[in-house]
């Protein structure tokens, strides 16, 4: 029975293609059509196959649900096997479909290729459609439409009888945009200058200044490093080996964003920077080092082989995790779900997973696995090596003199020691000591073993001649000082291929690397291109010493035509500006992800970023200067009833500062923040009560703290910094008692409150109005606004209350500062 496509809809009965096949794919086709063999000889890929049935007879009897074996088995939870069962609402769809005669939308094909094919319905899914540039809706002169973004947002608001909220005041805007673009609070002077600026474009100039700030790259690098899965340790079990050079990738991301490197170049360098640097890799220039460091994107996955060994299961897990990072970050799809079988929900066959893997396997080859230490490239130049060799030669000459002097001193000391023995024993001991160790007789060895005090070492020389021991110590220091003159040797961790080694990628049976099956070639997902136009990379690029697969694939991804890359990118940028994405599942644009709230706007943004040369600062400016972004966060009762979650963006959503921004803000208002950029991370360690803290209570920006998988910084972890598993598509904000306790009792919060109090006292000389001035200064630092009369009176009463201790005034002001640092107004951005 067939039914016209135009007739298929929500009001009609379910159809096989639209309603039933997705259920069967999720729960049944793995055994009945998607695998190499049919269980029970039953194929459920087509309606007529289900009617034909298998060993047990017809699975579906059209019009007769009670006689349909498929329905009986899923109701009785016999099928599918295992814990995963078909939910009741899906069973109801199957029953309704069978009762309606098991209709299809169109005539079914006579034959099907092996496996689960991709249907027209799956190709019609929004995320796989080509990106088209919609025309922004028309707007009038009074509509406050500043950018095309506003036109799209306003049109949706009006569909629900809503409009834009009033614009936020200037104090709110500067606080908001500072937190958003740099992650640092404005100074009181910056706030007052902006509030008083009469220029009509004062806000636009503020946005430009912040985008030009070096702190912009530090802020937005964090948003890229989360989905990239950045960490400063390998995650190899309890050992959690440190990655001493991972920071070069972090610094690369910061520098690239500050330089506004076009995203297409940014992505190509991370996927294939090594293939852009001519070999051999000697005397590398700074830009070449950057290209190699960029491949750290493909070295962020946990690596269980770091502690030694290259077990095939462990190394394959590194490959699988890397594929997960790339696919979720760049494509916004759960490609990893197709490792063991065809994806149950999205049109990603298992062969596509291994086609994707073949792009990366020459560099991540489990059969020729290289542990992290084998992926380091020295940054020593020929000049460095020559200088180091010359210094080493000088050090060895000094050492030879020291060795000779040591031998003389030891000989004299030995003579003193031997005088303690009887003459016959003394002579035999001297003969044994004078004989080379490998020429001594067994009797001589036994004699020395029996008289160990006769065998002296430089370490005991002080017992015989303190002056000689002191002289040798100074000589050793001179040798060490000479060797310290060598230029330090640094390294960069690289993901690269071994030239001439190109493994054949195979599809693994059930994802088991010990059971390779059919060979596959490198390429993109079939669904990411029109039917019959799937991108397939050349197995080997003759113009390169390596295969060139990653370089070709990366360039294909950013050609402006890929349906996912631009959408995923702009959705992530939107998410971090507004606290929610146009698609709320940034790592899953597939069937189980959420649908875009503004699909036309998302397509327009995806087209605009590519059309504008992939410049990210331009897109930030477009968003930050829009009316949509500048709205007040105040909830209007009428709007709240229509759009409680603010999914239509009829106001700005209040959201809490993320963990790193909160810590940095506390340090900033306390006057302690160290803005030194780049370099190795600040080590972390547990204190006596188990809190993980930066070494030496370092006030560096949080992005420069070590990300140790086994030791997340306690302050950051409490405020939802991501767990360092594989990667983090989106942080999930929470409100917990642990956060309140951290603000109330942690040494970090108390120390910043005290530092802030000292800063305020130092800025306000003693006098009768000092309490008022310090309180006003505290509000300006913490809240970037004047203190209100009621707040001032309450604060004056609070600090005037008696305190014990050597400095009651400081104690009172510290308590006040702690309350400000723990308040919602400090923690949240509106």
DSSP H or E run through 569: helix 565-578
Return the pLDDT at 642: 61
Return the pLDDT at 645: 86
What is the DSSP track for 630-648? HB--PPPHHHHHH-TT-TT
Handedness of CA 660, 663, 665, 671 (dihedral sign): negative
For 371-389, how does the pLDDT look when each residue is reduced to its tens digit (9 = 90+)? Answer: 999 999 999 999 999 999 9
**Mean pLDDT of all residues in 351-357:** 97
For 478-504, how does the pLDDT look when each residue is reduced to its tens digit (9 = 90+)? Answer: 999 999 999 999 999 999 999 999 999
**Mean pLDDT of all residues in 108-115:** 83
End-to-end Cα separation, the chain, in angstroms? 57
pLDDT band of residue 5 (cuts 50, 70, 90) is very low
For 37-93, how does the pLDDT look when each residue is reduced to its tens digit (9 = 90+)? Answer: 899 999 999 999 999 999 999 999 999 999 999 999 999 988 899 888 999 999 999
Q: How far is the C-alpha of 180 from the C-alpha of 504, rounded, in Å? A: 46
**Mean pLDDT of all residues in 735-748:** 95
pLDDT band of residue 8 (cuts 50, 70, 90) is very low
120-134, 187-201, 304-318: least confident range:
304-318
For 527-564, how does the pLDDT look when each residue is reduced to its tens digit (9 = 90+)? Answer: 999 999 999 999 999 999 999 999 999 999 999 999 99
At residue 6, does pLDDT exceed 50?
no
Return the pLDDT at 114: 80
For 576-586, how does the pLDDT look when each residue is reduced to its tens digit (9 = 90+)? Answer: 999 999 999 99
**Mean pLDDT of all residues in 784-805:** 95
For 393-434, how does the pLDDT look when each residue is reduced to its tens digit (9 = 90+)? Answer: 999 999 999 999 999 999 999 999 999 999 989 999 999 999
The mean of the pLDDT values for the chain is 94
Return the pLDDT at 501: 92
Q: How far is the C-alpha of 683 from the C-alpha of 677, rounded, in Å? A: 15
For 320-332, how does the pLDDT look when each residue is reduced to its tens digit (9 = 90+)? Answer: 999 999 999 999 9
For 432-472, how does the pLDDT look when each residue is reduced to its tens digit (9 = 90+)? Answer: 999 999 999 999 999 999 999 999 999 999 999 999 999 99
**Spans of all domains in the chain:** 5-117, 130-212+578-654, 262-377+495-557, 382-488, 747-829
Return the pLDDT at 110: 83
DSSP H or E run through 694: strand 692-694
- Strands 516-520 and 505-508, by their bridges, are antiparallel
What is the DSSP track for 391-460? HHHHHHHHHHHHHHHHHHHHHHHHHHHHTTS-HHHHHHHHHHHHS-GGG--HHHHHHHHH-GGGS--GGG
**Mean pLDDT of all residues in 284-289:** 97
Residues 6+ apart with CB under 8 A from 578: 629, 649, 652, 653
Return the pLDDT at 638: 58
For 626-649, how does the pLDDT look when each residue is reduced to its tens digit (9 = 90+)? Answer: 999 999 999 876 544 567 789 999
At residue 309, does pLDDT exceed 80?
no
């Amino acid at each position: 029975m067939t039914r016209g496509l135009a007739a298929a809809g929500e009001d009609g009965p379910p159809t096989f293609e639209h309603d039933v096949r997705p259920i069967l794919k999720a729960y049944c086709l793995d055994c009945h059509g998607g695998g190499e063999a049919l269980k029970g000889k039953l194929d459920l890929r087509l309606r007529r196959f289900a009617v034909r049935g298998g060993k047990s007879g017809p699975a579906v009897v059209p019009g007769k649900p009670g006689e349909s074996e498929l329905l009986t088995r899923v109701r009785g939870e016999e099928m599918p096997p295992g814990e995963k069962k078909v939910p009741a609402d899906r069973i109801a769809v199957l029953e309704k479909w069978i009762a309606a005669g098991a209709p299809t939308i169109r005539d079914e094909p006579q034959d099907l290729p092996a496996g689960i094919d991709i249907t027209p319905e799956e190709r019609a899914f929004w995320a796989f459609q080509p990106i088209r540039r919609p025309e922004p809706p028309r707007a009038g002169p009074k509509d406050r439409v500043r950018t095309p973004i506003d036109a799209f947002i306003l049109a949706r608001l009006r569909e629900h009888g809503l409009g834009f909220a009033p614009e936020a005041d200037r104090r709110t805007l500067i606080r908001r945009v500072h937190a958003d673009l740099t992650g640092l609070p404005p100074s009181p002077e910056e706030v007052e200058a902006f509030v008083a600026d009469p220029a009509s474009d004062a806000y636009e100039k503020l946005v430009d200044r912040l985008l030009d700030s070096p702190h912009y790259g530090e802020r937005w690098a964090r948003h890229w490093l989360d989905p990239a899965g950045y960490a400063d340790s390998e995650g190899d079990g309890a050992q959690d080996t440190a990655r001493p050079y991972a920071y070069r990738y972090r610094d690369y991301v910061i520098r690239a964003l500050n330089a506004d490197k076009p995203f297409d170049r940014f992505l190509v360098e991370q996927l294939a920077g090594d293939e852009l640097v001519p070999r051999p890799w000697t005397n590398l220039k700074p830009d070449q080092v950057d290209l190699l460091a960029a491949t750290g994107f493909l070295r962020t996955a946990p690596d269980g082989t770091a502690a030694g060994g290259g077990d095939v299961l462990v190394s394959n897990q590194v490959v699988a995790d890397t594929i997960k990072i790339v696919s979720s970050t760049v494509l916004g799809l759960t490609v990893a779900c197709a490792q063991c079988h065809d994806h149950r929900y999205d049109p990603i066959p298992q062969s596509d997973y291994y086609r994707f893997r073949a792009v990366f396997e020459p560099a991540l080859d489990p059969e020729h696995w290289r542990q992290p230490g084998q992926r380091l490239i020295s940054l020593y130049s020929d000049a460095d090596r020559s200088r180091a060799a010359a210094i080493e030669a000088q050090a060895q000459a000094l050492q030879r003199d020291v060795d000779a002097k040591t031998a003389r001193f030891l000989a004299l000391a030995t003579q003193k020691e031997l005088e303690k023995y009887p003459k016959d024993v003394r002579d035999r001991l001297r003969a044994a000591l004078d004989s080379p160790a490998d020429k001594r007789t067994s009797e001589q060895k036994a004699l020395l073993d029996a008289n160990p005090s006769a065998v002296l070492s430089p370490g005991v020389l002080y017992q015989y001649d303190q002056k000689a021991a002191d002289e040798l110590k100074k000589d050793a220091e001179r040798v060490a000082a000479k060797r310290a003159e060598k230029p330090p040797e640094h390294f960069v961790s690289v993901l690269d291929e071994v030239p001439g080694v190109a493994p054949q990628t195979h599809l693994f049976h059930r994802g088991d690397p010990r059971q390779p099956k059919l060979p596959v070639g490198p390429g993109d997902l079939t669904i990411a291109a029109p039917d019959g136009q799937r991108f397939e990379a050349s197995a080997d690029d003759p113009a390169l010493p390596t295969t060139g697969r990653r370089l070709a694939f990366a360039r294909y991804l950013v050609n402006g035509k890929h349906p996912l890359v631009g959408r995923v990118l702009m959705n992530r940028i939107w998410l971090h500006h507004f606290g929610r994405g146009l698609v709320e599942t940034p790592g899953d644009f597939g069937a189980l992800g959420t649908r875009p709230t503004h699909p036309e706007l998302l397509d327009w943004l995806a087209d605009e970023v590519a059309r504008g040369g992939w410049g990210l600062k331009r897109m930030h400016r477009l968003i930050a200067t829009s009316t949509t972004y500048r709205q007040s966060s105040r909830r209007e009762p009428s709007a709240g009833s229509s759009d409680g979650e603010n999914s239509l963006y009829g106001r700005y959503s209040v959201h809490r500062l993320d963990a790193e921004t909160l810590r940095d803000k506390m340090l900033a208002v306390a006057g302690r923040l160290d803005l030194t950029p780049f370099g190795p991370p600040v080590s972390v360690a547990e204190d006596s009560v188990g809190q993980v803290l930066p070494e030496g209570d370092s006030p560096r920006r949080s992005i420069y703290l070590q990300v140790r998988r086994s030791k997340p910084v306690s302050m950051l972890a409490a405020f939802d910094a991501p767990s360092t598993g594989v990667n983090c598509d989106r942080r999930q904000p929470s409100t917990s008692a642990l956060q309140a306790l951290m603000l109330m009792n942690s040494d970090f919060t108390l120390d910043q409150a005290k530092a802030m109090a000292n800063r305020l006292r130092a800025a306000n000389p003693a006098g009768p109005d000092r309490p008022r001035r310090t309180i006003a200064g505290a509000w300006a630092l913490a809240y970037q606004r004047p203190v209100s009369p009621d707040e001032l009176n309450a604060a004056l009463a609070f600090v005037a209350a008696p305190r014990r201790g050597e400095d009651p005034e400081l104690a009172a002001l510290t308590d006040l500062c702690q309350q400000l640092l723990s308040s919602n107004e400090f923690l949240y951005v509106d």
